A and B are shown apart, each in its own frame.
Chain A
Amino acid sequence: MELVLAGLVGFLVAGGAYLMMSGQLIRFLFGLVLLSNAANLAIFAAGRLTYATPPFVLSGQAAPAAGVANALPQALILTAIVIGFGLLAFALALAFRAWQALGTTEMDAMRACEPVNLTVGKKDEIGLDGPQAYARKEREAAE
């Protein structure tokens, strides 16, 4: 089964990377979720799999039965899942605000922080930030 998981992790990694490279904010987030799952599964598999024997000390005993599953990677994954959730939540909030601010979800069209022509050094305020941002600027100028 470890081999299956290895393949699955590889597939999730590939899929996540492909989605992220699309340069589209929502696909990027989807890719991020896939990669997080892949990382968790990777830790899980690397800690070796044990079928249906959770690491609990049963009542009346002082230690878990022999052959229980490896508890440490579980604890690590738990930590990783929660951290991953925090990161994802922030990334999502950011994506939302970036869309509001920049008027595009195409990362390549987000050029507010990096000028188009580095040699000239003039910041390109309009034109490359997508039609919405342009329209908003126009509106603000009118107000």
Chain B
Amino acid sequence: MKLLIQIYGIVNLAIYFLYELFVSSLRVAWDVLTPDMKARPTFIVMPLDAKTDVELMLTANIISLTPGTLSIDLNADRTELLIHSMFGADNPDGEIAAMKQGIERRVLRATRGVNL
């Protein structure tokens, strides 16, 4: 069962990820091609549930490849992730929640084989 969840998690993660990558690229294209800058970039700090090295790496990586966010660094005790966000200035908490739901949860499902 755990294995099935894990396989499902991996496939789900991959599809989600490719989709997000495509969307984020379009978003970048839009931003690049439109002359004025609407974004209000900021740094946000996301608390982490991910614990193991692989979980941390995957979470950070995928966050970087999805729209508007870029992982910068983990803090010293690996409980927080510093993120550069293009659009999170208005609602950082919402952005964090979206990432935790969208990405971290999927990653943990893929790595731990547990539905969270």
| A/B touching: CB–CB < 8 A | no
